[in-house]
Amino acid sequence: MKKLINLPDRVVEEALAGMVAAHGDLLRLEEPNVLVRRDAPHQGRVGVISGGGSGHEPMHGGFVGRGMLDAACAGAVFTSPVPDQMLAATKAVDGGAGVLHIIKNYTGDIMNFELAAELAQAEGTEVASVVIADDVAVQDSLYTAGRRGVGGTVLAEKIVGAAAEEGADLQAVKALCQRVQDNARSMGMALTSCTVPAAGTPTFELSDDEMEIGIGIHGEPGRRRVKLASADEIADMLVAPILEEGVFARGDSVLAFVNGMGGTPLIELYVVYRKVDEILRARGIEIARNLVGSYITSLEMAGTSVTLLKLDDEMTRYWDAPVHTPALRWGV
């Protein structure tokens, strides 16, 4: 294992300390391992928090700031944060109008957020939550933990954060978040595995001529392992199952998000984006907005994911609204 770390057990804490050192104008650190918007709470405004295992940077801490998240809880690498963290975050951002929890659909995340919500409500804070489950690689059936929350989470946090910033109430913010979830679909793939610092060995093995289609963001294996293909073929493999969902139709406007898994250079993401754009044009689907870059990663994994979000006017307006966070910044 070759990594830019000091001690495996210190990686998360030291990274958070670095974020605060770099972005102290935007965020502050509260115990235990919670990044909070520097000027939170905002009286009378809904607080929006999220959180999850570390190793997906910039998600979630990089999205704390004006117009996006009010706080983010950082768990150990690929491990859900503990309820103490979500409770601390909820209290730190509670301006009296309630707090929305944006939760990615993983068994551990759900249980820990549930425990935290019970505790926060017992202490008098109104909490609503929305579970993001946009990964089409997972069969959504009674026999699995359900679809995973992946790229759609980034889009939900941006759009919902903008609505909260403008003063939408908790029910409206929750309904908007649910609408983003219902209209977003993602699919990812990996060219290489990744190594959890504390584990020291790669989570899975892929030979030089193989790739994993339908990968999650924790190095958990995907839908199938196949021979390496060209970027255009990979873009096809990712977009086809998304379009099969029946959510996107000719004439729709979408936000297309081509994401890097952490170890893939931007030049390759644009090669993929070019093909995604071509596929959607051929289908008569308009890319009204886009995002290209590594925003929800899996440590040093090489690979990409594609997320499509069917936009409506309200979502588009909130997407365009000013945002000022370590990782996303426009309109300010």
Partner 1 sequence: MPITTPDLAGAFRLFGERLAEERDALTRLDQAIGDGDHGINMDRGFQAVLGSLPTFLDDGPGALCKQVGMRLISTVGGASGPLYGTFFLRMGTAMGTAEKLEPVELVAALRAGLEGVIQRGKAVPDDKTMVDAMRPAIEALEVSVGGDWQEALASAACAARQGRDRVTPLVARKGRASYLGERSTGHQDPGATSTTILFESLHDALATIS
Q: Does 91 bind partner 1 (CB under 8 A)?
A: no
Q: Does 138 bind partner 1 (CB under 8 A)?
A: yes
Say which residues have a Cβ less than 8 Å from residue 174's Cβ, sequence separation at least 6.
100, 128, 129, 130
Which of 68, 77, 159, 272 binds partner 1 (CB under 8 A)? It is: 77
Q: Enumerate residues 29-68 that contact partner 1 by CB under 8 A.
A: 53
Measured CA to CA in angstroms, residue 20 lies from 16, 39, 150, 218, 222 at distances of 6, 14, 25, 25, 34
Which of 128, 198, 226, 243 binds partner 1 (CB under 8 A)? It is: 198
Q: Name the one range near partner 1 by CB under 8 A: 20-28, 92-100, 155-163, 215-223.
A: 215-223
Q: Name the one range near partner 1 by CB under 8 A: 35-43, 214-222, 263-271, 318-326.
A: 214-222
Q: Which of 192, 227, 180, 205 is nearest to 304 (CA)?
A: 192
Which pairs count as long-range contacts for 223-232, CB under 8 Å and 24+ apart, including other chains?
223/137, 228/191, 231/268, 231/271, 231/272, 231/275, 232/275
Q: Does 192 bind partner 1 (CB under 8 A)?
A: no
Query: What proportions of the chain, in percent to the nearest 5, are helix, strand and coil?
Result: 35, 25, 40
Which of 219, 263, 303, 326 binds partner 1 (CB under 8 A)? It is: 219
Beta bridge partners of 290: 256
Which of 65, 83, 149, 152 binds partner 1 (CB under 8 A)? It is: 83
Which of 20, 115, 247, 287 binds partner 1 (CB under 8 A)? It is: 115
42 is catalytic: no
How many Å is the maximal CA-CA distance in the chain?
55
Q: Enumerate residues 4-33 that contact partner 1 by CB under 8 A.
A: none
Beta bridge partners of 292: 258
Q: Name the one range near partner 1 by CB under 8 A: 102-110, 150-158, 228-236, 258-266.
A: 102-110
Judged by beta carbon, residue 194 or residue 279, the one nearer partner 1 is: 194
Q: Does 111 bind partner 1 (CB under 8 A)?
A: yes
Judged by beta carbon, residue 78 or residue 273, the one nearer partner 1 is: 78
Dihedral of the CA atoms 132, 136, 139, 140 (nearest 10)? 30
Whole-angstrom distance, CA of residue 325 vs CA of residue 149: 21
Beta strands in the chain (DSSP E): 27-30, 34-37, 47-54, 71-77, 99-104, 127-132, 184-190, 210-213, 224-227, 253-260, 286-293, 303-310, 323-324, 329-330
Which of 36, 68, 76, 154 binds partner 1 (CB under 8 A)? It is: 76
Judged by beta carbon, residue 190 or residue 291, the one nearer partner 1 is: 190
Name the catalytic one among 56, 60, 101, 324: 56
23 is catalytic: no
Name the catalytic one among 23, 60, 101, 218: 218
Measured CA to CA in angstroms, residue 34 lies from 73, 78, 134, 251 at distances of 5, 16, 25, 42
Which of 13, 28, 95, 108 binds partner 1 (CB under 8 A)? It is: 108
Judged by beta carbon, residue 115 or residue 288, the one nearer partner 1 is: 115
Name the minimum Å distance from CB 29 to partner 1: 18
Beta strands in 78-176 (DSSP E): 99-104, 127-132
Q: How many residues bind partner 1 (CB under 8 A)?
A: 37
Which of 139, 171, 230, 290 binds partner 1 (CB under 8 A)? It is: 139
CB-based contact 53:77 (threshold 8 Å): yes
Site residues for partner 1 per CB under 8 A: 53, 75-84, 106-108, 111-112, 114-115, 137-139, 143-145, 148, 196, 198-199, 201, 203-204, 216, 218-222
- The set of catalytic residues is 56, 218
